[in-house]
Amino acid sequence: MLTKGKGKHPGDGFSIQDGNHQIVPSLTRPSAPKMDIKGDHLSIQDIIDVSLLGRHVPLSHDVDDHVAAAHQLILDRLKAGQPMYGVNTNFGGLATKQLTANEASALQENLIWGLKSGAGRKLPPYLVRAAMLIRANALARGASGARRILIERLLAFLNEGVTPVVHELGSIGASGDLIPLAEIVGCVIGLSKAYRVVDQNGRELDALAALAEMGLEPLRLERKEGLALVNGTSMMNGIACHVITDARKLLRLSLYLHAFYIQALEGSPEPFSAFLHQCKPHPGQVEAARLMRELLKGGKVLPNAEQMLESDKALIQDRYSIRCLPQYMGPILDAFALIEKQVEMEANCVDDNPLVDVSAGMVLNGGNFLGQYIGTGMDLLRYHVALLTKHLDTQIAMLVTPSMNNGLPASLVGTRADDTGIKLGLKALQIFANSVLPRLMHLASPITHLFPTHAEEYNQNINSQGSTLPTWQESLLVF
C-alpha cells in the first residue's frame, strides 16, 4: 500500500516539500538535540540538520589536547628552523625557498587575500553552512595545526546564523576548495570589510560589522592556519551532502510513481517475487523488488501471467520497464548507497596539507585535499539520476499510448463521452517532459576526466573538478 515511509536515510519520510530549501535556514528548532564536534562522527543527517535546520553545534573539549599539541609542534619545528611547506615556504609552484620570519608571519593572511577571486552566483547559505561545519570537524581532529579558537569561530557563525557570502565559481577541486573557503575565512576572522555575510534575517552586511554585532573581535592567523582553513574539500563536500539527500528523495518518489504506474497499467506482480531475486541477489535489486512488493501491497489486485493471457492484453508478460524494474533500479540503489558512504566519510576526514602527526613528531606532505571521491561520486550520481528520469519517461509514454496502456484513454483524457472529443489530457505534460529530458541527459555527462593538466604552474596537474560537479548536480535535480 502506498503510505508515507520513514527510514534511516535523509528524506525517507517522503515529503516533497522537504526539498524546498529556505534561502536562510530557520534557527528555531528547539527539539533538535545538541551535538559535539569531535572530528570523526558527523553524519549526512547531522550536516543537513545544522546547515538547513539550525541545529546548535558546540565543540567538544575532548579535542583540546590534540588540537593544542599539533599547533605546538608547528611552533617547535619553526623555532628549530625546519622547513615546512606553506608554513615557512610559499605555496604550490612558488614553494621554492624558505621564508624569513617576517615573511612567514604575513604569509597566512596574504594567502586569504590572494585567493579572493570567486565569481558567479552567490551560493545559498545552507550550502555554505554545510561547508563551515565540515571544515570545523576536520580541524577538530588535531592534525591540521590550527588553534581551537578558529574552530570555535566557525561554530559561532553557525550558531548565530551568520553566513559568509561565497560565490559559485573558483574551485577546481585539486588543492581542495581554496577560493570558496577563503571567502569563508575572510569573514570569520574579520580580515576586511570587503568580505560580506548574510545574517539569519537575510540582511547582508560586511564581516567587521557582523563581528561587532556578535560581540567578537577580528582574529589574526598564526602559522599554517590560513592553509589549514582553505586547503580542503569542505565546500564540495557540503554541497554533495545536500545533493545526495535530495537525490535520495527523488529516488524514493520515483519508486512510489512506478507503483502507481504499474497499478494503472495493470502490470503483473510476478517480476517482484522474492524467489526471482534470490536467484540474482545483488543488494540493490533485492531491495528494489522488496520495496515494490511493499508499495503494491493492499492496492488493486494485479493479474498473474495466466490471467494476462486470458484477458485482452496482447502480451503474456509485461514490457521491460515494468518486468525488469528491480534489475534496472538495483544498480541505482547500490550506487546511491556507495556515494552516500563516500560523501559521509569525506566529511569526517582531515584533508589539508601538510598534516601534523603529533605521536611521531612529524609534519607530513600529502594530497588528502584532492576531491576525487566527491568528483567521481557526483558524476556517478548524475548518471543514475538521469537513468531514473529516463525510466519514468518510458512509463509515462506507455500510460498515454492506447496500444500499450491496457485500455486507458489516449493521453489519459478521461472517460466522459460528452467532452473527450476536445480534451488534450496529459499531452502537453508529456511534451514538457520530452523537452526537459535532453537537458537532463546533457547534465548527466561526466566532467572529472576533463580536468586541465596545467593548473597553477602544473603543480595541480591532476584535479577533480569536484566543486563544479555538485553544482551541476543541483541544476539536474531542479529539472
List active site positions.
85
The CA distance from 184 to 157, in Å, is 10
The CA distance from 155 to 157, in Å, is 5
CB of 238 within 8 A of CB of 164? no
The CA distance from 191 to 187, in Å, is 7
Q: Which amino acid is at 117?
A: S
Radius of gyration of the chain (CA): 26
The CA distance from 438 to 190, in Å, is 45
The CA distance from 110 to 76, in Å, is 23
The CA distance from 475 to 28, in Å, is 29
Relative orientation angle of helices 427-443 and 468-478, to the nearest 10 degrees: 170
355 DSSP β-pair partners: 364
Count of CB atoms situated within 10 Å of the CB of 338:
14
CB half-sphere exposure, 455, CA atoms < 13 A: 16
CB of 148 within 8 A of CB of 173? no
Q: Where are the beta strands (DSSP E) in 276-360?
A: 355-357
Q: What single-letter DSSP state applies at residue 17?
A: G
